[in-house]
Every structure is written in C-alpha cells, then in structure tokens.
Structure 1
Amino acid sequence: MQKSEGHFERLARAGYWAKGIVNILLGGLSLSSVISGGQGEDTPEDALSSLLGAPMGRIILGLIALGLAGYVLWRLAQSVLNADDHDNDTMGIVTRLGQFFSAVANSFLVMTAAGLAIQGGGSGGGSDQTSIIAMVMAQPFGPWLVGIVGLIFVGAGLGQIYRGAVKDYEGRIVIPADKKAVLDPVSQFGLIARGALFVVIGGLIVYAGITVSPEDTGGLRDALDWLRSQPYGAVFYGMAAAGLAAYGGYSIVQALYRRMDAPDAEDVKQMIPNGR
C-alpha cells in the first residue's frame, strides 16, 4: 500500500514538472514575440512544437507527455476524490470543478505531446475548442451550459487571484525559509496572472454563450489577443507572458515542496458502487 502511494506521489510531482516546463516555454515564446514585435506563439501546443528542433526533442516530448498524464491523474484525484480535502462550500466546489476541467484540458495536451513525440510533427489530438463549444450549443439549453462553463472559468480565475494575493498556497506548500524571498513573489505573480487570464477566457466563453456564436469563444490565444488589442496592450501582453512563465515556476515549486495526500486503493473503492 505504501509503495503504491509513493508511486502516485512521484507521478504527480512529475506532472507538476511537466506543467512547469510547458508554461515556462509558453511564457518565453510569448515574451520573445513582444520583443520582436511578431504575432507570437502563445498556445501550449506551440510551446510543445518548439521542442521538436531541440536535441532529443521527441524524447523530451515523450517524457513531458508521461508527466502531463501524471498531472491529469492528480487533477482527477483532487477533483473527484477531493485529495486536497476542500470544504463543501461554494469556493471548494468551484475549485474542484476547476480542477476537473483542468484534467480534461490537459488530457488534450497529453495527446498533443504524445502525437508530436511519435509522429515528429502535427498534433496528436489538440483541443478544438470552437468545435466543442459548437457541439455543446447544439444541445438543449446549450447556450446556458456554455455560459455556466464560462462562469466556472471566471470563478476559478478569481480563486487563483485570491490564492496568489493572500499566499493561500502556504497551507500546502512549504517553501524553505532561505528561498521564500525569491519563490514567494514568483508564485504569487504566476497565480495572479494566470487567474486574470482565466477570468478573460471565462468572459469570452460567456459572451459566446450569450451571442450563440461558438467562433467568439475564447482560449488562451484569444485571451492574449484580447489583452494585446487594449490600450497599452503590448504592456499587458508582456505582463501576461511573464506571468505564464512565473506560473511555470510556481508549478515547479509545487513539484519540489508541495504536501500531497495521495489517494490509496481504499479511497478509489469508495468512489465505485459496491466497491467493497
């Protein structure tokens, strides 16, 4: 039993490492576009594709795919099994819903990384968000469902902003005292910036639901493009890009210092009818 728990914890930590690497790459690519004045490669798929030109790039992509698979499993443990022991209040429910949607979104990223590693080009099944939203809208009460998903993104984003602002993560992450002066600001900035992007993404999804226009829905690229179109947009875009890189740093902080209550076989049995 203990050995199994240890394996799961290592898998989850590998997931945080993989997530951190992807976000640092993504932030770096976006920052380089600000400096060069280019359009920017600002999706996780772009960040993964950039590794193909690196030495042993396909091997690295394969390892990242495995790590991200561990991250998906950990997100499912957090959301379905409540591994972080959240309260059953509004904040706890919204947080767990956000963790579930994170598992779903990152499962597409696993397929993309695996496809790039195997094929050496093209995605292995990236997320076509517009098609998914269009499919949902075609269902009864579809626009309402899309609006609810958007509000969940907004709620998750506000939750991340709050966690960063008050350093709420300190209850689960024990940063060594001699590293706090550097890692606390990185973690706070990363959480607040990513939370703000989630709020923008959620707002775009809600707008798509109101207008019944799937093409108006927003992903990360749409959120960054929206920021770039605002007055002083290059400044906001640059801050968002730096925030994504900082969030990658925060993910690595979690890989190193996060306390984990990894689920065991008994936890899983309790989620299955007649599991005993």
Structure 2
Amino acid sequence: MDASVSVRNNGGAQVERAARGSVMKGAARAGFAARGVIYLLVGVLALQIAFGDGGEQADRQGALGEIAQRPFGAVVLWALGVGLAGMALWRLSEAAFGSAGSEGRTWKKRLPALARSVFYAFVAYSVLALAAGSGDGGGSSDQQSKDVTARALELPAGQWLVGLAGAGVAVAGLWIGFRAVTRSYHDKLRLGTMSRRTRRLVDVTGVGGGAARGLVFAAAGGFAIRAAVDYRPDQAKGFDDTLRSFAHTPAGPGLLAGVAAGLVLFGVFSFFMARWRKV
C-alpha cells in the first residue's frame, strides 16, 4: 500500500514539474507573443477606422483576415494558433497546480486560470481552423454577440441573465483598467532584470494599453445591459461595433483613435509579458 502511494505521489510530482518546466514556460511566452500580434493588428485596424478607412473589422477575425491576405499568411496563422494553444495549456496547468506568487494555489487564482484556458483553447482552435482552410477565425464578434444575446433573451429570466452577464463584463473591464492604472502587473514581472528604460516602456504600454482594453470591455458590457433592458439583441455589440461606437461620442473619432492607440500599446505590452512574465 505504501509503495503504491509513493509511486502515485512521485508520478504526481513529475507531472507538476513538467507543468512548471521549460517547455510549459516556452508555451506561455509564445501565447503572450501571439496575443500581442492580434491586439497590435486590432489596434491598427481601429486606427484606420478612426481616420476614415473602416473597411476591415477591428476585432480578432479582422486581424486574422489581414494576416491571411499577406505572403506567408498561413504560416503566421499556424504559428499564432500554436502559440495560443500553448497559452491554453499553460493556463490549464495553473488551474491544476497553481500559479506563481503567494496566492497562486488558491481557488480565486485557479478558477480564472481555468476560464482563461477554455477561452484560449477556443481561440486557438478557431485560428488553427482558419490556417487549415476550414474555418473563418471564429466569426464576427459583432454577429456572435447579437446571436448569443438573442438566444439568451429567449430563456426563462433571459433579460436578467443577459443583464447580469453584461454587468459582469462591465465590472471586469473596470477592474482591468483599475489594475492597469495601479500597475498591479508589477507583481507578475521580473522587474529586477529590466533596465530603467525598459521599466518605463513597460509602464507606458501596461498602463495605457490596459486602460484602453478595460474601457472597451466596460463599454461592451454596458451595451449588453442596454440590450437586456430594452429586450433588443441588436443593441449588443462585439469588439468591432464597440470600438466604432467611440467615434459617435461627443469626443468623436479622436476618442476612437486614442483607444485604438491604447490597444496597439497593449499588443506591445504583451510582447513585454512574453519576455519578462513570471511563469
């Protein structure tokens, strides 16, 4: 009995060491780099919309479509898909074994890691399907939002469900922005290995990029709440429509340009995370 328990314990320890090993760390860094590429392109597309050229969708599908049209686009898509799959596996390992930091093994860290793992697994699948020629990159975020909202509103207490989901997204957006402005990401970075100039660049991209990303999520959540209150699924907006809505505020296209520049900064920040994130 003791021997079998010892074997199981040793096997579990080997699995945990593998989950924290160099291969998994490489997968995490590849995932951050892939995320950076997508946000960088989404930000560029949003800038084009702000300056009057709104032909492409400023969301993940739009970014992937831009890549697919370029020379060696399929190769880049395969690389992005593999990188995002690596991110999904790393997040899954965090959910199973805990993450870096004093609270890494608590459930309040593990459950979000599991949710992120599922999300990145879906995104990776959609990117790889597009690379293989059998998918569309996950479809338009705007149409997805409207379809999901319409189906949810048909459920019992559907308005409440959509409203609560929208409130959750809005609160998450505000939380993302707050954590960016307060630079809480410092705890996740190996700041001691950076030069002073690099730390300044990290803060410029982390604060500006995180605040812009949080604003987009908060606005999208607000639109979902409005769709629930008015019982109109067409009022729900995905990433692209949410970004375009900033151009129709009193601040005009200037606000959209600022948010778009912030998303470009977040893409660059993701590259910094790929290099200096504690994993």
| TM range, smaller chain | 0.7 to 0.9
Q: Which residue does 2:160 correspond to in 1?
A: 144
User: Which residue of the other structure, out of 60, 71, 87, is the alignment partner of 1:71?
Assistant: 87
* Aligned CA-pair RMSD: 2.7
Give the Cα separation in 1 of the matches to 2:151 and 2:50: 35
The answer to whether structure 1 residue 112 and structure 2 residue 112 are counterparts is no
Report Cα offsets for 1:51-70 as digits up to 9, x if no partner: 12222110110110111122
Give the Cα separation in 1 of the matches to 2:97 and 2:160: 28
Change (3 A) 1:228 1:75: farther
Percent of aligned pairs with the same residue? Answer: 27
Give the Cα separation in 2 of the matches to 1:257 and 1:150: 33
Change (3 A) 1:73 1:211: farther
CA contact (8 A) 1:49 1:116 kept: no
Tell me the TM-score normalised to structure 2 length.
0.81
Larger radius of gyration: 2
Q: Which residue does 1:200 correspond to in 2?
A: 219
Report Cα offsets for 1:169-192 as digits up to 9, x if no partner: 111112313311222111110011
Residue 132 of structure 2 aligns to a residue whose secondary structure is: helix
Deviation of the 1:232 alpha carbon? 2.3
Structure 2 gaps, min length 5: 1-13
User: Which residue of the other structure, out of 29, 32, 40, is the alignment partner of 1:13?
Assistant: 29
Deviation of the 1:195 alpha carbon? 0.6
The answer to whether structure 1 residue 54 and structure 2 residue 59 are counterparts is no
Deviation of the 1:100 alpha carbon? 5.8
Give the Cα separation in 1 of the matches to 2:79 and 2:57: 22
Structure 1 gaps, min length 5: 261-276
Report Cα offsets for 1:64-102 as digits up to 9, x if no partner: 01111222334455567663636979xx58x955x6665
User: Which residue of the other structure, out of 238, 242, 260, is the alignment partner of 1:241?
Assistant: 260
Q: What is the one-letter code of the residue matched to 1:190?
A: G
Q: What is the one-letter code of the residue matched to 2:240?
A: R
Give the Cα separation in 1 of the matches to 2:114 and 2:232: 25
Give the Cα separation in 2 of the matches to 1:188 and 1:119: 37
Q: What is the one-letter code of the residue matched to 1:5?
A: R
Which sits farther off after the overlay, 205-214 or 191-200? Answer: 205-214
Report Cα offsets for 1:107-134 as digits up to 9, x if no partner: 44323322321118x6054362222222
Residue 119 of structure 1 aligns to a residue whose secondary structure is: coil
Q: What is the one-letter code of the residue matched to 1:202?
A: G
Change (3 A) 1:164 1:206: same
Q: Which residue does 1:250 correspond to in 2?
A: 269
1:1-276 → structure 2 map (5 Å cutoff): 1=14, 2-6=17-21, 7-38=23-54, 41-76=57-92, 83=99, 85=103, 102-119=116-133, 123-126=136-139, 128-175=144-191, 176-178=194-196, 179-260=198-279
Runs of 4+ in structure 1 deviating by more than 6 angstroms, as ranges, are 86-89
Equivalences, count? 255
Tell me the TM-score normalised to structure 1 length.
0.82
Q: What is the one-letter code of the residue matched to 1:216?
A: Q
Change (3 A) 1:86 1:133: farther
Q: What is the one-letter code of the residue matched to 1:150?
A: G
Q: What is the one-letter code of the residue matched to 1:111?
A: Y
CA contact (8 A) 2:27 2:87 kept: yes
Give the Cα separation in 2 of the matches to 1:136 and 1:234: 32
Give the Cα separation in 2 of the matches to 1:163 and 1:257: 18
Give the Cα separation in 1 of the matches to 2:120 and 2:19: 24
CA contact (8 A) 2:19 2:93 kept: no
Report Cα offsets for 1:137-188 as digits up to 9, x if no partner: 2222222111121111112111111111111111111231331122211111
